[in-house]
Amino acid sequence: MTDAKQQLIDFILAEAVFHGDFTLSSGTKASYYVDLRKVSLDHRVAPLIGQVMLDLIAGVPRVRAIGGMTMGADPVAAAILHQGVARGLAYDAFVVRKEPKDHGRGKQVEGPDLSGQRVVVIEDTSTTGGSPLAAIDALLKVGAEIAAVAVVVDRNTGARERIEAAGYPYFAAIGLADLGLGA
């Protein structure tokens, strides 16, 4: 395990894992909640997220851009973009809205032109895989090629299986075992 990954795990455990009764976006009940925005928007932690995620996707060839559904993916994509520049990499970022805008250019995918470009769909915490799959639907409409899905924390509740069944490689930087949490 890299030093950056261990530091990231330590920050998540200290500041982003909450215990209690929670309802997840999937409607599932849980006894803990991983609120990655508590750390992904923190100046101390965002660089670590970028480093860990860059290491995670390093083997995915010819990636042009990274991003996913707003809001969870946005700070993760920005962290990857900035840490990528520090490593001499040229990843752009994109944002996928839940619905196309009803004004301006009416876009659902914001950022660079992704037609014919290989992209990695990013997620902060994945439960069912619904958000990455929704992002993929929007990206396919603009002609992007999906290279992979990469998440910071995987809850081990079916996201991997659902995304791989749809035909996409799935990578997770941190699992529940890393955080000492049960499924």
Q: State the residue range of the domain holding 90.
A: 47-176
Structural domain tally of the chain? 1
Q: What is the DSSP letter of 112?
A: S
Q: Please check whether residue 100 lies inside any domain of the structure.
A: yes
Distance CA 6, CA 90 (A): 26
The residue whose two tokens read 């900035």 is: 82
Residue 103 covered by a domain: yes
* pTM of the predicted structure, to 2 decimals: 0.94
In a domain, 38, yes or no: no
What are the pLDDT digits (tens) for 96-148?
Answer: 998 876 666 668 999 999 999 999 999 999 988 999 999 999 999 999 999 99
Whether 31 is in a domain gets the answer no
Torsion of CA 70, 75, 80, 82, to 10 degrees: 120
Phi, psi of 66 (to 5 degrees): -135, 145
pLDDT tens, position by position, 14-60: 999 999 999 887 788 889 999 999 999 999 999 999 999 999 999 99
Residue 41 lies in a domain: no
- Tell me phi and psi for residue 23, to 5 degrees: -110, 120
**Domain harbouring 168, CATH code:** 3.40.50.2020
Instruction: Tell me the mean pLDDT in the region 147-170.
Output: 96
Pair of tokens at residue 140? 């396919």
Tens of pLDDT, residues 53-95:
999 999 999 999 999 999 999 999 999 999 999 999 999 999 9
